[in-house]
Each structure stands twice: as C-alpha cells, then as structure tokens.
Amino acid sequence: MSIFDKSICRVTYTHTDYSDVWGIYVGEMKKYFNLNLDHYICVNNKKKNYLSFFPASTQTLLYNDKFKYAKRLKNCLEQIKNYKYVLFDHEDMFLYARPNFKKLLKYYKLIKNGTYDSIRLIKDSLSTVTESRYEKNLYEISNNSCWFFSIQPSIWNLAKLIKILEKNLDSDIWELENASQEIVKKMNLRIAYSNDKSKKRGKYHYDNKIYPYIATAIVKGKWNTSEYSSELEKIFNKYLINPKLRGKHNVRDNILSSNYFWKIIKFFKLNNLH
C-alpha cells in the first residue's frame, strides 16, 4: 500500500544493544504499517547477523559509538538524500494496532505545505496547546509553552530536525530533550501533536488511536511492563521472549530510578516553573 509521495521516508534509530527488539519491531510494523515507504535504520554496527532481522530493502545508516546520541542521529540524517521529510521513531516504539492512515496523510500534507515543521504522534503532559484550526485531533504547541520537543514518533521537516541536533551535538537523548526546548522556541518552529483524547498512560504520555504505539517498550534497559503490561505480555508470547533476561521495569523504578523524571524536575526549577 502506498499513501505518501517520494519526498518522505521512515527513519528508525537503534543500537545493537537492542537487537533483541528488532524482530518484534519488524514483525509488528509489517503487520500494522505495511506501506510502500523507504525505510532507513540508524545503527552502530553493520554485521549481517544483526541486519538479517530487517528486510533487504531497508537501508543502513551507520554511526560511531564514540559520539553521543544527538551527533549520532545528526550524522545519520545527513546521509539521507532526495528526501525532505521523515517519519522518525525508535526500535522500541512499535505499533500495537493499525493507525489511521488518512490522518497521517493529512498530517504529512500540513508539514509539506509549511503549516507545521513537525507533528508528534503522541500527547505529552507538559506542553501548552491550542486546538489546530487545520485538522481535528491536532493541537498546536504554543510559543509560551515550556515543552516542545520530544524523542517520540513524529513526522519532521528533515532540515529543521537536523538544525536542532546541530545545536546540541554533545547531548545524550535525555539531555537533548531538555536542551532543545529553548532552542525550538528561539527557532520559532511550528510544532503540533496528535491526540484523540484517549486515556493517560504512565506519568507523561497519553494513548492515541491515530497512531497506537508503545511509548516505550524498554525503559532503563528493562521491559516497560509497568505501563504496557497487557500489550507486552502478548508480544512475549508471540515472539517467545523471556522477559526475565532484560527484567521488568516497575512503578518503583519509575519513581526512584528514572533520570528522565529528575531531569524534568530540574528543568522546571531552572525555568522557575515550579
């Protein structure tokens, strides 16, 4: 099936430390997102035994492990030619149901015509928003918001995403999110997120039937069964996964061990938002 034009591709960031998730990602995305859309993976190693999980049509973008996340991703994105837009995700952000492709196409057209620079496919609990006048179930993030940028599945203007990364090259994934809020604001980027008013899932995100994915399947190296227990139990059974090998992330981990939680608190304090 093909709904997008040739100006957009799909880009998935991953690492060989997460190779046990690759079979799941490929299988679930093939089931629910089987589109004729060129797919790139950003990865640190090109060994055949790893990449045998991915279809032969998948193109590999290599990064150097010595760099932090932002520079790794930037270097990969700069290797992409002939595309102006990307649908970006990670290997542990796979779908668990069929998305609304008509909505996704409308979102893409809004980015392509310059209405937005990015549309995130999940609602967060920190952004200040207003309803979009262009599309139902779409919310524009206000320029006076404290939160704009998240590493979650999103449709991006590729050049704009690269510019954000250029300003934070020495950042890991958590540092990148915190540091990019003020940068996105200064760049006056137009960002929106999709939300169909589904229930809240965990501390920071809401479900979205328009693009129903797990956000995220792995937290701090463990399976995120504290937030996606039923969805992941089905995955464990389907792919014969022993969850004890990674361990299960629980609510206590969320409260006591999450760097993300404490960094958000620090972000609010530094910006006098507490």
Residues 180 and 203: their CA atoms lie apart, in Å, by 21
Short-list 95, 84, 74, CA closest to 8: 84
List, for the chain, all residue ranges whose pLDDT scores fall below the cut of 50.
254-262, 265, 274
For the chain, list the domains and their CATH numbers.
Answer: 8-270 (3.90.550.10)
The pLDDT value recorded for residue 258 is 43
The pLDDT value recorded for residue 271 is 56
The bridge status of strand 138-141 relative to strand 129-131 is antiparallel
Residues 88 and 122: their CA atoms lie apart, in Å, by 13
Contacts of 229 (CB under 8 A, 6+ apart): none
- Residue 37, classified by CB atoms within 10 Å of its CB into exposed (0-12), middle (13-18) or buried (19+), is middle
148 in Cβ contact with 117 (< 8 Å): no
Residues 181 and 146: their CA atoms lie apart, in Å, by 7
The pLDDT value recorded for residue 264 is 52
As a whole number of Å, the end-to-end CA separation of the chain is 48
The pLDDT value recorded for residue 1 is 73
pLDDT tens digits along 116-138: 999 999 999 899 999 999 999 99
pLDDT tens digits along 177-230: 999 999 999 999 999 999 999 999 988 899 999 999 999 999 999 999 999 999
Residues 105 and 110: their CA atoms lie apart, in Å, by 9
The pLDDT value recorded for residue 200 is 94
The pLDDT value recorded for residue 270 is 56
Displacement of CA 54 from its chain's centroid (Å): 19
114 — alpha (psi -120 to 50), left (phi > 0) or beta? left
The pLDDT value recorded for residue 252 is 55
The pLDDT value recorded for residue 272 is 57
